Chain A
Amino acid sequence: MRTSEFDPLSIEIFDRQLKKVTLVVLAVFGVLILRFWFLQVVNGSVYRTKSENNRIHLQDISPFRGMILDRNGATLVDNRPSYDLYVVPEEVQDLEELLERLSPLAGLGAEEAVQKLDEASRRYPFRPVCLKRDLSRDELAKVETHRFNLPGVIIKVAPQRHYVNGTFASHLIGYLGEINENQLNSGQYADSKPGDLIGKSGVEWKWQRDLNGVRGGAQVEVDATGRKIRVMARKTPVPGENVCLTIDKDLQAVAEKALAGKSGAIVAMDPNNGEILALASSPSFDPNLFVGGIDRASWEEIVLSGDFPLQDRALSGQYPPGSVFKIVVALAGLEEGIIDPEEELVCTGIYSLGRRGYRCWKKYGHGRVSLHRALVESCDVYFYDMGRRLGIDKISEYAMRFGLGKKTGFDPAHEKAGLIPTRDWKLKRWGVPWQGGETLSTAIGQSFVLVTPIQMAAFVSAVFNGGIVYRPQVTKWVGKSETEKINEFAPVVTGKIGIKQEHLEFVKNALIGVVNEPHGTGGRARLKEVTVAGKTGTSQVVALKKEEEFEREEDIPVQFRDHAWFVAVAPAENPRIAVAIVVEHGGHGGSAAAPIAGQLIKAYFGLDKSVLAEAVTH
């Protein structure tokens, strides 16, 4: 009935095979038992000696983390030695007595030290326990001189991350923190162990792998008192690669100073290739605080502060652009042939659409204006009309050509895309159709439009560099030095705006006028030595009407004040720097943001040594 029944021939074969298998098994086990004999009886005494008198310790040798430099090779972030205090529990006769002696020298809290040591001495009596990191020179000197009296105490030197200028470019550079469980499990940080510090944001995070280097170690034979007998094997750590950024340290300093005490962001870019020359966001934080493991008080101060110092406003701050957006509308209008640049409109201060009146910022109007003057003096009424003629979808189409409404690609994980509204969008998002009046507001950069400072910098660069939208980049090269690079970064083009040269020229001229002509709203950015072109913007936080309750701007409570924008390029004929500045609740673009642009450009071209010196020594 069953196919697997045994027949006599099979049985014979089976038994024969079983015999063979038995022999093999016996032979293999014989080898294994012999091996034990060899290890335990023949060479036993050797191993016994090793295990009793000598111990092998694995010492981690941390690699030196790569430095972060500015475009001229100046050091922004490096490492400095940290002297850490350790105690080996097993080697201490009387723990409490030792701590009593140690506390005043090293400034230790006696209680927590006792706790730490108590727990440790039960588990790993031979492993050194860290009592205090980063001893001051004073404490170090004191402990060292009394070492003979402090058995079991060891001072270890470890490299510690050092942010040379404190809160300088902190969002861009980022900070370090201890690797967490998710990151360890993810497999991306294969070389890391619990307790390792890794980059958590910014450049420190982006180039973590290259900056980190490869850890080394030593297998050290240690005798009964913990002294090293010999290094059995050593693997030299590989230091991390250095990262050279495109930012200019001096320019960055000027930017940081300009934002001190305010909230906002500055982005300065080279319009010819997208290299970021400075990127500042305020309020800011000091990455040095995170290095030893940030203490609770500092962390709470940062996190609960209410104005979000950890947020990088240059990338993720979304604001209505205000009048800066008029550049888009102007180019759209010219390109579509909707208006004739010579055509004049009368601005009386109010524009009617349907039953409503839309106000110009100048209460009684600008009088007769053509496109050039409308840009120079930022006439709202002129642009209401242009906006009406173009329609919201056309405006949005052009806006998106300039890279607005989507991330620049600089740091997709932390950037926001801003918002460029369309009819479809409004219907989907709000469930109501688009209103004509909203087109008017959009044309002057209010209403639903949102942009980020970095988008603005890329945008204004495109207007002046002949129409190329570059992706902003901040890494110049990665490697040991300029001459030993392992990675270099070419400019990346993310789009072409495709506007006719003559139209670009027209608008460029108008923007030069904004700064240099009388009545131009950007006059406070004017410089003698260099032709600056730009545009102001004032984006509303509350309705105009409410603002008018107050006589003077200074009386308006800060949280009601408008955000001040300014974008600029210099020199206009042959641009070398483009800036985008937003000052939250700064009031008018012309008064709050334009002067900052002037300072930056001046500093960039080395025109005012005193401005430079003042900024750098802060």
Chain B
Amino acid sequence: MFDRRLVQNFDWILLLLLLLLAGISIINLYSATYAIRDVGGSQVFLKQIYWFLIGFAVFFVMTTFNYFALERLAYPAYIFTIALLILVLFVGKVTSGSQRWLSLGPVSFQPSELAKIAMVIVLAKFFSEKRGYRGYRLRDLWQPFILIAAPSILILREPDLGTALLLVAGSFSMILFVKMYWKSLVILVGSAVSVAPFIWFSLKEYQRMRILTFIRPDMDPFGAGYHINQSKIAIGSGLLWGKGFLRGTQTRLHFLPEQHTDFALSVLAEEWGFVGSAFLLLLYLFLILWGLNIAKVSKDKFGSIMAVGIVAFIFWQIVINVGMVTGLLPVVGIPLLLFSYGGSSLISTMAAMGLLMNISMRRFMFQ
């Protein structure tokens, strides 16, 4: 099973990128939880280290098998995920008005995280089997549409608007990648726009508030508007070189809510300035381009499309969080990839990265 070739083709760059990101994340988290270290903060910090260790373990496990086996497991895994998503609506743990978690004894996980990976795999399988030189028309795409709609609607009902959006964005990126007819694309966008008013009315009140606050930030000063305001102050006040490690006043004085989760990037920006922020963004950019490169050198369609899918999802996750934190997008509660505190998101990301590594390692194999 362990070919010498695999070891030769081990993708050190990918591993290095992940280690760098992990390191920066942990250092930043230390600062973000420093102010509350005596009352639970240090627990958070230590927990994240454990999560990273488990994450890397998952990462390596994901490289041991031949990713090709996933072709057969794609649909079963997808169905299993849908079942879990339905289950969570009934027996999920209720936290602040939403049911997103399933508990198995001491651990809980979010089925919506599994859904992201299952989505990538099942769409990759679908598109790798169909031949579409000139792209796809709407009528060819009815299957993918259903595949996308099912989990998205279930996730939306949890309710988890952010993850649902992410799922839709990532999936459509994959579809766009395998090309759609121009006409079909126009029709699709047109119908999405005309459906928008209905979607608006089916959103919950607080979700609508978030979008409205984005447009007029002084509308809800103590809800979503507050987060963005404080975030921008934190980021902007970092200037070029930042205020220095552990010296972020917005962070230390608790003006920035969710500083170890959704707004972890704002902490980095305040303490390390433009230099720090740009560095992190460039790291992410490099990770994405490297992922695209893996897609390019992979020798089979299934692997390539999966790689593109994984890249699409991490792209959108980064863009949505960074956009939100800088005030370019409304607040939708998406944590930053590999950076924010949170076990569920971290493990699923590492699993996806493991898959990417898997594809990369087997790029010279003819099956």
Q: Is the CB of B285 within 8 A of A41?
A: no
Q: A43-B236, A187-B97 are in contact. Are A18 and B292 (CB under 8 A)?
A: yes
Q: Is the CB of B253 within 8 A of A235?
A: no
Chain A residues, CB < 8 A from B151: none
Chain A residues, CB < 8 A from B249: 51-52
Q: Is the CB of A232 within 8 A of B292?
A: no
Total A residues in contact with B, Cβ cutoff 8 Å: 57
Q: Is the CB of A52 within 8 A of B367?
A: no
Flag A30-70 by CB within 8 Å of B: 1 or 0 each: 00110111011101111110111001101010000000000
Chain B residues 279 to 326 lying within 8 A of chain A, measured CB to CB, are 281-282, 284-285, 288-289, 292, 295-296, 299-302, 304, 308, 315, 319, 322-323, 326
Q: Tell me the bound Cα distance from A33 to B326 in angstroms.
A: 10
Is A6 interfacial (CB-CB < 8 Å)? Answer: yes
Q: Tell me the bound Cα distance from A56 to B39 in angstroms.
A: 23
Q: Is the CB of B239 within 8 A of A45?
A: yes
Please give the distance in Å from B42's CB to the nearest CB on chain A.
13
Q: A17-B179, A50-B237, A58-B221 are in contact. Are A36 and B308 (CB under 8 A)?
A: no
Instruction: Look across to chain B and name the residue whose beta carbon is closest to the beta carbon of A216.
Output: B222
Is A483 interfacial (CB-CB < 8 Å)? Answer: no
Please give the distance in Å from B325's CB to the nearest CB on chain A.
10
Q: Is the CB of A233 within 8 A of B233?
A: no
Please give the distance in Å from B351's CB to the nearest CB on chain A.
22
Q: Is the CB of B95 within 8 A of A6?
A: no
Q: A35-B328, A51-B233 are in contact. Are A40 and B221 (CB under 8 A)?
A: no
Q: A14-B304, A18-B295, A58-B222 are in contact. Are A122 and B38 (CB under 8 A)?
A: yes
Please give the distance in Å from B126's CB to the nearest CB on chain A.
11
Is A10 interfacial (CB-CB < 8 Å)? Answer: yes
Is B138 interfacial (CB-CB < 8 Å)? Answer: no
Q: Is the CB of A2 within 8 A of B367?
A: yes
Chain B residues, CB < 8 A from A45: 239
- Which among A20-28, A515-523, A554-562 touches the partner chain? A20-28
Q: A4-B302, A122-B38 are in contact. Are A13 and B179 (CB under 8 A)?
A: yes
Q: Is the CB of B367 within 8 A of A21?
A: no
Residue from B35, B128, B222 within 8 A of A217 (CB atoms)? B222
Is A529 interfacial (CB-CB < 8 Å)? Answer: no
Is A15 interfacial (CB-CB < 8 Å)? Answer: yes
Please give the distance in Å from A30's CB to the nearest CB on chain B.
9
Flag B167-207 by CB within 8 Å of A: 1 or 0 each: 00000000001110000000000000000000000000000
Is A304 interfacial (CB-CB < 8 Å)? Answer: no
Q: Is the CB of A39 within 8 A of B236?
A: yes
Is A207 interfacial (CB-CB < 8 Å)? Answer: no
Chain B residues 36 to 56 lying within 8 A of chain A, measured CB to CB, are 36, 38-39
Flag B220-233 by CB within 8 Å of A: 1 or 0 each: 11100110011011
Q: Is the CB of A10 within 8 A of B240?
A: no
Chain B residues, CB < 8 A from A234: 221
Is A413 interfacial (CB-CB < 8 Å)? Answer: no
Chain A residues, CB < 8 A from B296: 14-15, 18
Q: Is the CB of A219 within 8 A of B226?
A: yes
Is B120 interfacial (CB-CB < 8 Å)? Answer: no
Q: Is the CB of B277 within 8 A of A36?
A: yes
Q: Is the CB of B237 within 8 A of A48?
A: yes
Residue from B178, B234, B274, B289 within 8 A of A22 (CB atoms)? B289
Residue from B133, B234, B284, B367 within 8 A of A51 (CB atoms)? B234
Q: Is the CB of B95 within 8 A of A46?
A: no
Please give the distance in Å from A533's CB to the nearest CB on chain B.
55
Which A-B residue pairs are the 5 nearest by beta carbons? Answer: A47-B236, A219-B221, A4-B128, A233-B221, A4-B301
Q: Which residues of A contact B (CB under 8 A)?
A: 1-6, 9-10, 13-15, 17-18, 21-22, 25-26, 28-29, 32-33, 35-37, 39-41, 43-48, 50-52, 55-56, 58, 60, 122-126, 184-187, 190, 217-219, 232-235
